[in-house]
Amino acid sequence: YISVVEALRHAGVAHHAGIDLRWVDAESLEKNDRPAAEIFQGIDGILVPSGFGSRGIEGKIAAIRYARENNLPFLGICLGMQCAVIEFARNVCRMAGANSAEFAPDGPYPVINLLPGQAQETMKGGTMRLGLSSVRLRKGTKAYEAYQQETINERHRHRCEVNPGLLGELEQGGLVVSGVFTGRDLVEIVELPDHPWFVATQFHPEFKSRPHRPHPLFQGFVGAALCHRVSAGHHPVNNQ
């Protein structure tokens, strides 16, 4: 996750703030040994990065639920975005058993599905959607506010997507699709409009962040975390 860590630091420099990272083992959230409020005490934002496989998935979903319910700034990346959609489906849209078809192929609500053609692939190596693709942003959203433009280009590495067949129910529940792939209606960014900062992307924004050109979404996330820090009365984190 070095690219994610560096992207956070780039954004911290832009805000004249240091970044104090606290790593949380997702599996520890599944054990219920300690309440989430204790694990996340004193933090100002939660970032759930990309990953593969089902290990720790329920812990990631629990972390996202905590961020959503406690108005804690959240940024999800790739699998982190897919977990955010699953959490929203289960706990807001009341889709009991909602999951990814990758982890629960026979589940009642596969809100995350394999991309077209992926289900037929038996050899998964080299079959993902890779590389740079254009994304169209929706005006009036946090994503558009961060980028200040309608079309962007971002790098991808995934084989799953938000299930278009269940997207309508998610949107009725309040989930906003703020970015889509220009080639077809593939969901690229989701967010919650009534949350201080709850944004999740299918692409990898960390790959385009640079020391003197922080990625807009990381800047937005860190900015929201700083606002939370002030409002919560936490000690400042000085830039070092």
Q: pLDDT tens, 50-71? A: 887 788 999 999 999 999 999 9
> Would residue 169 show up in a list of annotated catalytic residues for this protein?
no
pLDDT score for 128: 67
> Would residue 204 show up in a list of annotated catalytic residues for this protein?
yes
Catalytic residue among 10, 158, 195, 204: 204
The answer to whether residue 173 is domain-embedded is: yes
The answer to whether residue 240 is domain-embedded is: no
Q: What is the pLDDT of residues 69-113, one digit of tens each?
A: 999 999 999 999 999 999 999 999 999 999 999 999 999 999 999
- pTM of the predicted model, to two decimals? 0.92
- Residues spanned by the domain of 52: 2-232
Catalytic residue among 93, 206, 215, 228: 206
> Would residue 234 show up in a list of annotated catalytic residues for this protein?
no
The answer to whether residue 222 is domain-embedded is: yes
In total, how many domains does the chain have?
1
The answer to whether residue 42 is domain-embedded is: yes
- Tell me, letter by letter, the H, E, C secondary structure of the chain: CHHHHHHHHHHHHHCCECCCCCCCCHHHHHHCCCCHHHHCCCCCCEEECCCCCCCCHHHHHHHHHHHHHCCCCEEEECHHHHHHHHHHHHHCCCCCCCEECCCCCCCCCEEEEECCCCCCCCCCCCCCEEEEEEEEECCCCHHHHHHCCCEEEEEEEECEEECCCCHHHHHHCCCEEEEEECCCCCEEEEECCCCCCEEEECCCHHHHCECCECCHHHHHHHHHHHHHHHHHCCCCCECC
Q: Which domain CATH number covers 225?
A: 3.40.50.880
The answer to whether residue 97 is domain-embedded is: yes
One digit per residue, the tens of pLDDT, for the chain of length 240 reads 899 999 999 999 999 999 999 999 999 999 877 889 999 999 999 999 988 778 899 999 999 999 999 999 999 999 999 999 999 999 999 999 999 999 999 999 999 999 875 555 444 445 666 667 899 999 999 999 999 999 999 987 768 999 999 999 999 999 999 999 987 789 999 999 999 999 999 999 999 999 999 999 999 999 999 999 999 887 766 654
Catalytic residue among 78, 83, 93, 160: 78
The answer to whether residue 112 is domain-embedded is: yes
The answer to whether residue 60 is domain-embedded is: yes
The answer to whether residue 237 is domain-embedded is: no
